[in-house]
Structure 1
């Protein structure tokens, strides 16, 4: 049963409180020694602004954040995610796209591959998608799915036509939006023509990858890694662009994620290690230790008793000294349905262990957090 994976801390046993505080102190004292530019990717909702603001560059899903002003005021450059070569059917504007703009399907992700030679698609990207974001304050864009056309045709003439269309689009972006900053996801074939139009090149899966067909994480085969590594080194040496490497590791394997980030960093690249949904606070050139503690309680009456208890007041005071804070959630109401990994230092359930709500929903939710590697402490008798 899931309760066997929870650490129980008892008010009558000061040693358990002491160990808990020692852990928090250790997290607080960890030093980040990365010197390279830091970049984070976050496509989830809600956006943890306070954590992401510790990075120099952040790529977000613009549909999931109302205002980027809080990030901009803290000196973080914010980039909007933009899929250029594919359209996800989940986009609210998907129904507006004429069928003749679509060349085929990406079966691995269930998305539609767009004909990049279609000028109407270029106009739609510029006027309907990018221009409104530019008005909202975005001055940088992460251009994804630049290579998707390669999934449909190996004919050199057709591929050249798609590549030239991409080159024209990227050049037009600079004409329409002076000062625009672009990060390209791969697009190696385009660089001889538009290297000066980008500030960085990103690539996924150098050491660890996500296999969507089999729904699993896995190590990148040697041949694939060697090919990509040679490409990235060539781009960095030839064009002097920042190289961002995005690898995928399960949330419950933070040790492996840090090892992968260190490997990427040692190559002179900017690391970002996350889950494939990009909805967790991953590990990059800055290794973030959240100072938030999610406190789960059972009903409003218990919350009042909890906050008035001497033990809670004592513990909250000690934790506050090291910059930590509690966020409270009632187990009887709707629990957070987004990924908590990286957002919270841990979860604390502040109820008597015999009175933990045993509903299927609560048990399933708590087990999911444990499966994601989040530490759980139970305080009570």
Structure 2
């Protein structure tokens, strides 16, 4: 019997995927990983089913493209980092706002500005797609809603513009896999435009004030779980992932986080805050 090509296998997998219940479909992406450096060789990811890489610095993609792994390229839609290659050009276009006080060197953007939307749709997303990524990881889309709450007059329409941008990205790339990080205010508007929703830091995170990894208060965690389940009800095809941060020197603590997220029905990964190393599940 002739072997199926990678494309044929993915088509068959997509058909079967639609026939499976949500829990079974989620298992198709386990284990998964987030890694934002380029020093690890491609073979380090051979046992993963989904990987999120930074689109500008990542391991070689070619050895992974024929394997059973989905590759998503990171895109920051609500902020712009000063180290990105086109930062100067973006700054000159007038779309940058204030620097994010929690992330020095990263600047909020006016997502309503046509110049920013054009960069995402006509330049950034195509550059990620043509590298061989199967889709996009959308980050920093909490920012538009945050800014609009801070100043409803100055930033009126930011949340709506963010939702519109996600919708237009889906229209431009109908076969792409799209993962949305948090951005709870957008869920009602974009639930059917995305394939994954990520709950980052919902169970554990790094506390700069305490200089330590800390667990999220139980009441806050239950609220996050409810929000993630709500968007999944709007789109039963969604897979809910979680990304929590914890010390790799505490495997017992990591195991507890994995157990909590799986009990909630989510697909977890636990890493260090820098996301610059692979942390296998203990």
Q: Using structure 2 for the length normalisation, give the TM-score.
A: 0.82
Distance 1:128 1:212 in 2: 35
Q: Which runs of 5+ in 1 are unaligned?
A: 1-33, 289-381
How many residues were matched structurally?
252
Report if aligned partners of 1:109, 1:212 keep a CA contact under 8 Å in 2: no
Partner of 2:29: 37
Shift of 1:59: 0.4
Q: 1:71 to 1:250 in 2, by over 3 A?
A: same
Q: 1:236 to 1:78 in 2, by over 3 A?
A: same
Counting only pairs closer than 5 Å after superposition, residues 302-381 of structure 1 correspond to structure 2 as: none
Q: Which has the higher contact order (CA 8 A, sep 6+)?
A: 1
Segment drifting more, 201-210 vs 213-222: 213-222
Distance 1:36 1:77 in 2: 10
Q: Which runs of 5+ in 2 are unaligned?
A: 1-25
Counting only pairs closer than 5 Å after superposition, residues 1-381 of structure 1 correspond to structure 2 as: 35=27, 37-38=29-30, 39-65=32-58, 67-98=60-91, 100-110=94-104, 111-154=106-149, 155-156=151-152, 161-212=157-208, 214-240=210-236, 241-283=238-280, 287=281
Cα RMSD (Å)? 2.2
Shift of 1:236: 2.2
Distance 2:209 2:108 in 1: 18
Q: Using structure 1 for the length normalisation, give the TM-score.
A: 0.61
Report if aligned partners of 1:101, 1:121 keep a CA contact under 8 Å in 2: yes
Shift of 1:272: 0.6
Distance 1:35 1:66 in 2: 24
Distance 1:54 1:66 in 2: 15
Rg comparison, structure with higher value: 1
Distance 1:223 1:156 in 2: 28
Shift of 1:119: 0.9
Report if aligned partners of 1:104, 1:152 keep a CA contact under 8 Å in 2: no
Q: Which runs of 4+ in 1 moved over 6 A?
A: none
Distance 2:172 2:39 in 1: 31
Shift of 1:138: 1.6
